[in-house]
Structure 1
Amino acid sequence: MSIKAKTVTLLVIALLMTGLIVGGSGMYVLYGRTLNNNQVAMNGQASQLAGETSELFASFSRSGKYYSEDLDLKSGDASRVQDKINAYFAATWGVDRLVFINSAGARFAIAPYDAKTIGGSVADRDFFKDTMKDQKSHISDVIVNRASGIPSVIVTQPVKTQDGKMAGFVAQSISLETLQNFLEQVKVGETGVAGIVAQDGSILAHTNKDLIKEQIKVPENMLHSLLENSGKLIPYPDSIGRDSLALAVPIKNTPWVVIVSMPKSEIISDFYASLTTMVISLLVALLVVGLVAWIFLIRLLRPIEEISRQVAKIGDGDLSVAITSSSNDEIGILAKALSTSIGNFRQMIVKVQEASEIVSASSEELTASTEQLSQAANQVSTAITGVTDGTTHQMQAVDNTMHIVEQMSAGLQQIAANTGSASATAEKTSNTAQEGGKAVQKVTSQMTNIETSVNNSAQVVAKLGERSKEIGQIVDTIAGIAGQTNLLALNAAIEAARAGEQGRGFAVVAEEVRKLAEQSQGAAKEIAALIGEIQADTTKAVLAMNDGTDEVRKGTEVAIAAGQSFNEIALLIEEESDQIREISAAIEQMANGSQQIVSSVKEITKISKDATGQAQTVLAATEEQTASIQEIASSSTDLSQMAGNLQDIVSKFKI
């Protein structure tokens, strides 16, 4: 791969890595910024809605305080109180009922006026109990207004007489429709929702009105989590089941909170839109940077390519090239250094040509002298070789004999070891066969005991069958007696009927006797059926016992045959063990004899080796002298060839 290709590859990798790092960090920052922007926007909407709701109920509280100072309301006069309640209601916005409730919990005055509800008690309501208990203003939970019949929230304000006693309180009934009007203009993103939620999770108002009708509640744990992270986005499945992010803001002066949620898909779509813009910008920037880097790279590599072409000519043997560069950077320094090196190399080639000619002439003279010495050494070596050949053949024959005897000895020793192992194994096998015979005898005895037990059980079951037959006969007798008794009772009833009033008591007794006879006859039939089943089961048991007795008898015969086989095997193994011992003793004697043969052959081998060694010593000295002469001849020949090669190489250079 060329420098240009490597540099381009490195540049592309660097641009890709830069794009990935910048893009990844940008995506992380962009996603966080998108979440933060949505959180700020949603928190602003929730805070605004909470502030408006808080201000609404603050205005109701201010109105209530104003009403509590009215002397007509403190007077206790029903007419004056009703007139003033009517006047206040006409000037009030957002209140669907304005009621004055006395200290006993009765509706004292109401606007719009409704005679049916005047005097009705609200003493059981929590807002009445709380207001009378601490004599302070309260905002109730959502209740169904008994006067209007619609879900409402009650805002109370105590009214005290001139002497400081509780005259009652003004109750402003605010319909949930008033809260719903606040949410009609609220829009959270494109598909987000908002709602006002009570402490128990009840939805008081929502951008989706259907949820109020369905009385859907926010789960308690989710509401608690939203309140703990007030003003912060947390994962939240919204009221219609979408995977969303939500935040909550408490409403001051009320026990309620505003919850605003937006589907994650919408937030992510905003993120993707911003991400697309960022990716396009990043790609454009990378393309511009890559183009600028490419132009700079072409200009930077052009001098290097020129130097590379000149160096290629030098590699082909052309030392007449001239490398020049006008730049003062590292590339210019490299060009000047190469030019100096080529000049020095050119001078060295000239000197090598002169020296190679001198070496070639000297090596030819040395080669002629070494050829004469080599011929004389070869004659001496031939004579000594004839002496050593005879001793070498003798030593080889002795070595072959010794190897054969050693192998035979090792084989005999191995056979002796194997026969010893076989003898031990045969003894163990004989012992095992004897133990097996004893075990088979025990099995035979046990099978005989089992056969006896099964025969006894079969006899007992047979007796049980005979007893069940006797019981069946007795039951048949009882059934016959019950039938006759039934007939007698029927005849007695007929005679009693003929007797009229005098036989009525006897007829009752006859009827009871007849019923008892029928019950006895039915019970006898059931017992007869059970006896039949017992007899059938007894017959099956007897057959099964007989089959078991036959199988046990067969098992006993097989066990006896197995015991006899074990005894025969033990006798055969004992005979084989004796034969193996005799073979082992004979093989040990043969192994000892083979060891003596090996010792004798080793002595012959030692003598042959000594004779061969002395002959080889003389031959080695002669061969060393011949080798030295040949090395000198070879060296002189190589030197001559090297001088010729050097001349050929030097001649290739163009000076």
Structure 2
Amino acid sequence: MPQTKKSSIHYRSIFTRLFFGILAMVVGMMVTAGFFIGNQSDAMLHEKSRQQLSQAAHSTLAEASNRVHSIVVTLQSFASTYKNSKVSNSQVFGIFTDLAAQHPTISELQLATADGKYVTFPSSPIDAYDPRESEWYSQALALSQQPAYVSDVFQFSETEFPKIAVSVPLFTEDGDTAGVVVAFVSVPKLSEFIGTIKIGQTGYAMIVDQKGTLVAHPDKNYALQRPSLDQLPVVQEVMAEKSGIDLLTLDQADYLAAYQYEPWLRWGIIVTQGVSEVEREVELLQLTILTVSLIGLAALAVLLFGFVRKIVNPIKEVQQKMTAFSNGNLSLSMQVQTNDELRQLADSFNRMTGQIGSIISKIQHVISDVKQVAKHVEAGSRRSHDVQSEVVHVTEQLSHEMDEQQTQITEIHTHVNGITQEMNRITSLMQTAVGQNLESRQQTSSASDSIQQLQVEMVKISEDMRTSLLAVSAMKESMLDISDISGMILDISKRTKLLSLNARIEASRAGQAGLGFGVVADEIGLLSAQTETATSRIQQVIAEGEKRMEHVSHCMQTTDTATLEAIQTLQQATETFTNTVQISDTLTGQFQAIDQLSTHIHQHSQLILERVDALSASALEVIGGMQQAVASNQESLSYSQQFLHDSGKLTFIVEDLEQEIRFFQTTKTPSA
């Protein structure tokens, strides 16, 4: 009884878990699918509404444009008839009657000629006006590319309905301007056309011009007020000559609005539909999906209950057989009639019990062998433990020696690094010395060149001094000639003075007759005295000039001598600088040789350092290997100890297993 009760409770738990688990998965899948379908339906309905609004705006604009084009084609046909043949007023009236009947949106037709006269159907707008002053007249004549001119909404008077003018120019056979034919489209009739456009229950269309003013609306009275809607974002987009779809708020209600702009007409068509109407359609679709899902879920729960119950019944039998198997009864076998996984489970259970029975019999034979093996293993473990202890001791000694070698390698590495650093510093100093020597050589070469140039200049100065000495000698000779001439002049002056004295004596002898000759003799004597004075002064000046010339000549000779000595000194300096340059070149070559030797030494030091590093790395690897070997030996020693301990436990386990094997019943008894 206790076993049956336990099996029943277990059976009900499996059934409940399986049933409600599958049901929960199905519900989750249906909820996920419903949520996804609901979102997709929402998006699809919104996108469908947008497409419908966009198509409605496009079709409405196309219909309005087609109506205007139809009016334009009719007016162009009239213009062609008017150009090719003469048309009387009665014929014009008849044609206008047919045109008004063909186009219900036309409220009035008018033919204005170039002389200001006009014919109107059905009546004149006012008592008297000049159509040539109207905008539709001037703009029609100014057309270049458009087939006709379409005006903005206007009124002739406050008592008339607003209208739109569609005008086409008229020409004669010679190509001269004959006038303009115009059709006035009534805004209320245009609102009637707009009122026929329905989008759902709340959707409607309206027309606004480029200034944001309402042109046509399903509410005619509201359209006749022509309110300005330029504050609405959608209307602002139309005023910017754009097309698209956007949200619109009117009278505290949200609308989805599609708008398109026609550049030729300068109109914008806005088609709206209430957002609440679209949301109601979405809610209706979601409610339908929910109802279908609940009905399907209820039917699926009923089918799932029977299906799960059919699956769980064989599992109950398996549970009962497993309970008997846990009590040591290996003689039971399962018989399942279905060809599914449960049949495979029963076959696997039967094979398992058979194999376990054979295994237990084999275990009984093996237990005796295991006992003997455990004894041999215990003896071998003891011997292995002794050998591994000795190996661990030797390995630790070897590891200690490798540590000492590693310390010596580290010291060698440190010394080699010091040598390398010293060689690097010597190389740096030698490179600095070579640079300074090269700079000194360049300065010495520059000084040698300057001295050679100075020597050339000194030679030129010496030559100039010799030329000056020659000039001074020639001047000195000229001064001597001048001194001789001055002596001759002084001698002549003395003779003239003596002659004057004789002439004065002779004049005194002559008495009165010699007065004139006496005067001449006095003047000659005075002239002779002045000449003598001037000659004496000239001789003094010449004497002083000779002294100065001798001083200058002496100075120039001294300068020439000094110049020659300076030239010799410069030659010696030049030779000295030349020797200095040669010595500098020799030093540079020696420095370069020392630099090359230093480089070779540095390279060898680097090679030694690399080899020391390699040796150090090898030593570290050996040390690591030794440490790993020590660790492995220690671990092996611990395993050996554990193995020795486990061999004793194995003997105990084998004995215990032998007692447990006796618990099983291996005689096969098939179940009903």
TM-score (ref. length: structure 1):
0.47
Larger Cα Rg: Structure 1 or Structure 2?
2
TM-score (ref. length: structure 2):
0.46
